[in-house]
Amino acid sequence: MGQVVHTLPEGPPVGGVTTLAGEVYVLRGKARDQVEVFDVITYRLLRLITVPNLRGQTDITSCEHYRCVYISDDIVKYIHRLDVQGAATRWAVNDEPWGISVNAARNVLVACDEVCKIKEYSSHGDLLRELTLPGDVTTPWHAIQTRNGEFIVCHGDRDDAVNRVCKISVDGRDIVQSHGGQPGSDTGQYDVPVYSAIDDNEFVFVVDINNRRVTLLSPTLDYTRQVVSRDKLKCNPLRLYLDTQRRRLYVADNEFKNSKFTAGRVVVFSI
């Protein structure tokens, strides 16, 4: 079980968290200063960044090679690119972008939940390919790519018949392995699995938002254990980021009231 080592300050809802160049980037749901940057060791607030034309703070991920972060915006349907010098650009997705990740080729993977697709872009927004997921993969929230090119996809909303984590073939056509099924609270079930991360041994960490936990799966998507339980969180986990180098798991813990997220914080766990 992960142990809490630090909690970043509570504030507006947290849309995502990542690290870049020894700093922690926290995405907040507000009109200005949407990105808070902290020191990765001391957790001291270093600066605030306002991202131009950002309206929907859906997710944030980073690329050490290009020294930039990417932010998905579900309201204007754009991906925003912000480099460490503060230069901001953006490109249109033309579908609602949800979770994003960077693969081994340093391209950006965008899960488009409404159309059940994964779109892959270059670092500067060139559309490289578009994968339509199998028909029973409904509401894909987030996708990451393994070393051999397969995709780990979290999918399923509260009204969907299936809530699970799938390993999908390189061409996006077939489900290779899966964990989950009918929504529920047992160890083999999920209640909206929205996000995942993968470690160096290809074990998978899964955010189960309504069960308020983080589950660890084996490389073949078999249940291993619970990494974060509901008693370690104040509200609902929405995002996570795994720092494999420092063995830290960052979990965005958000308060949900009146059908919307109203506040959030980031809880840092040692693993």
* Per-residue pLDDT tens digits for 207-262: 999 999 999 999 999 999 999 999 999 999 999 999 999 999 999 999 988 878 88
Beta bridge partner(s), residue 145: 151
217 vs 17, 163, 164, 185, 223, CA distance in Å?
21, 15, 12, 16, 5
Domain range enclosing 163:
3-270
Strand, coil or helix: what is 68?
Answer: strand
* Per-residue pLDDT tens digits for 92-150: 999 999 999 999 999 999 999 999 999 999 999 999 999 999 999 999 999 999 999 99
Q: Find the CATH number of the domain harbouring 54.
A: 2.120.10.30
Instruction: Name the residue with tokens 């180098």.
Output: 245
Query: Read out DSSP for 190-213?
Result: -S-EEEEEE-TT--EEEEETTTTE
In 3D space, the residue among 213, 211, 207 whose CA is nearest the CA of residue 165 turns out to be 207
Q: How many independent structural domains does the chain possess? A: 1
